[in-house]
Amino acid sequence: MNNVTFEKIQLNEVKELVKMYCLSSLGKDRIDQLSPSGNINVVKRRLDENKEARKIIENSNHIPLEGLFNVNMIIDKIEKGMILDSYELVKIQDFLRGNRKIKSFMLEKEFHAPTLSAYALNITECENIESEIEYCIKGNKVDSQASKELKKIRRNIGVTEDKIKERLNKFLTASGNKKYIQEFIVSKRDDRYVIPIKAPYKNEVEGTLLDTSSKGNTVFIEPKNVSKFSLELIHLKSEESIEEYKILSYLTELVFEKVKNIKLNIEIIAEYDMVFAKAKYSQNIKGITPKINDQGYIKIIDGKHPLLKGDVIPLNLEIGKNYRSLLITGPNAGGKTVALKTVGILSLMVQCGLDICAKEDTIINVFENIFVDIGDNQSIENALSTFSSHIKNIAEIINRSKSNTLVLLDEIGSGTEPNEGAALAIAILEEFYQKGSITIVSTHYGELKRYATLHPEFENAGMMFDQQTLQPLYKLTIGKSENSNALFISKKMGIRDKVLKRAKGYMGNKNYNFDLVKRSKIEKAKKIHEKETGKEIPIYQKGDKVKLLDQDDFGIVYKPVDQFNNVEVLYEGEFIKVNVKRIELYLKVTELYPNDYDLDSLFVSFEERKLDRDIERGSKKALKKIQKKMKQNRKASE
């Protein structure tokens, strides 16, 4: 499988819908990593898990997956030799508690889900780690009861802080200090207790100045009578940090000893979260678990694209039994591309182990590869046209396709000259057929419809169109091709019948009526001449003999009247353009020459005509003669 297929078929968008039912980032990450499998046994196991998960959901009020956080980053820290803080240890404790709950829950569901419940046997319970963390950590902090030493240190910290506060309160209440004090409160700076003193009196108070306010009006001084206790407090705080570190190290070591088991727990929990999310998604879309095979057979019954909303017309399609290639025709915006995408997305979903929105008895083949060419692949960066990009993509698909491959091609051969495009499309389809691929394509080419009719393992299909309302029905009919309905739509939209009749004629043959163009130009010139001279202008033909009024001599018409009212005439061995006002008809060509006369002989010399014939039959002598003449012309120009 490749990312281009996933993008064009919108598999990742479907996965985003499934992720909404996950309860943790573990399950979401697992769905992000989920890829369609080409192994029928893997796909069968995935679909069986889906069935079991749905049964569990249907027979349970609650699945205990809450609180199962993604602890992978915490495990990474442990494996790097780092010590966990109290918050991280509580996360581990919650995760391990959740492991116990889901294990107990799943083992009770062995009757409904023998496969899924068996996974729970591999979950390792770590109750001793849970209990140790619970005993040592309270409120995301190391508890005083975690060790005797920590309890003793914190008791001493409390005694020392009380002594400091007692002396500071005496300082605040002493009448002699009132004029120095800015605010009658005990503050803290750098974890040391201080009194706010008015800046002008900073030298009047004995003690250590630890800070100054932003405006400089207040200084924060630790009075001299508490300095000894402050140093003692700093020492006790240091001892407290060391003891807390010892306890955190001990708890981290307990987790490290079970890190391999916990990592396996993470994998199992992630799998459970993903499987139950898939089952919930299946319930929401009223999905079914289709039958699967690896023989190239697909039978979709009332299948719906999962990203389409509202009243969706279901798709019914069969391929791989009596024919291996299907050509879908029909009007623009009639649902051909949606049909291709629906086949693709339903196949990919099943191979991911997802249920699909379809009817029972739907059969999906498990393909080793699914390739698509859908949409405009024009590449500005690589200077590739839409056609070139399509062909480049198809070339890569041909190289990678084999027997168990699904190929979906939209508007195959389009973007170039129709005859070449149709011929190329047929050759490409033959190549896929010879490789044994299952191929579904959309096209407007009538030649491809004819080819599918003649080929025993190709079949036509058409997207239906309502000729009364001019609306596509988005309904696929196998065994019947549909026209693009361009002429019918044009008639409904007001195009005149004579225009449509002419277009219909061009569909049958390519005899375009250019006489209309010639006649319109001649009539225009004639009208101008009549208006200016009051005389009717003759219709000049090649070979007519005309009198040149300015030369008072005769010439032969080579080209009739053009859009500028000029006639090209052969006069004295040269071709000249003369306005119709300056010539008069002398003799018609029909009066001068018989019907089968070669008029070109009047304008081209015998030598030139002979040379042309020699070139046509491939004469080397004639070719040398031309090359010699080209060299002479080149030298003359130099």
Beta bridge partners of 365: 293
**Whole-angstrom distance, CA of residue 452 vs CA of residue 336:** 17
CATH topology of domain 291-481: Rossmann fold (3.40.50)
The predicted structure's pLDDT at residue 512: 47
Domain 515-603: give its CATH code. 2.30.30.140
Chain segment 473-487, per-residue pLDDT in tens? 678 888 876 555 566
The residues, ordered by sequence, that sit 6+ positions from 609 with a Cβ below 8 Å of its Cβ are: 600, 601
Chain segment 504-556, per-residue pLDDT in tens? 665 555 454 555 445 555 555 556 555 555 556 678 888 889 899 988 889 99
The answer on pLDDT for 133 being more than 80 is: yes
Chain segment 200-217, per-residue pLDDT in tens? 888 888 888 888 888 888
Asked whether the CA dihedral 175, 177, 183, 186 is positive or negative, the reply is negative
The residues, ordered by sequence, that sit 6+ positions from 120 with a Cβ below 8 Å of its Cβ are: 102, 103, 106, 107, 268
Mean pLDDT of the chain: 85
What three-state secondary structure class fits 47?
helix
Identify the weakest region by mean pLDDT among 17-31, 206-220, 260-274, 481-495. 481-495
**Whole-angstrom distance, CA of residue 502 vs CA of residue 59:** 69
The answer on pLDDT for 18 being more than 80 is: yes
Chain segment 422-448, per-residue pLDDT in tens? 888 899 999 999 999 999 999 888 888
Longest dimension (CA), the chain: 144
Dihedrals φ, ψ of 603, to 5°? -110, -15
Domain 20-126+258-285: give its CATH code. 1.10.1420.10
Which letter does DSSP use for residue 112 in this model? T
Listing DSSP states for 243-304 in one string gives: HHHHHHHHHHHHHHHTHHHHHHHHHHHHHHHHHHHHHHHHHHHT-B--EEESSS-EEEEEE-
Nearest CA-CA partner of 531 in 576, 565, 559:
565
Split at pLDDT 50, 70, 90, the class of 369 is very high
The answer on pLDDT for 43 being more than 50 is: yes
The residues, ordered by sequence, that sit 6+ positions from 59 with a Cβ below 8 Å of its Cβ are: 109, 112
Residue 452's CB is within 10 A of a number of other CB atoms, namely 23
Which letter does DSSP use for residue 455 in this model? S
The predicted structure's pLDDT at residue 383: 38
Q: Which range is most confident: 30-44, 411-425, 470-484, 598-612?
A: 30-44
Provide the whole-model pTM. 0.70
Query: Is the distance from CB of 426 to CB of 434 less than 8 angstroms?
Result: no
Dihedrals φ, ψ of 448, to 5°? -70, -35
| Residue type (1 letter), 126 | C
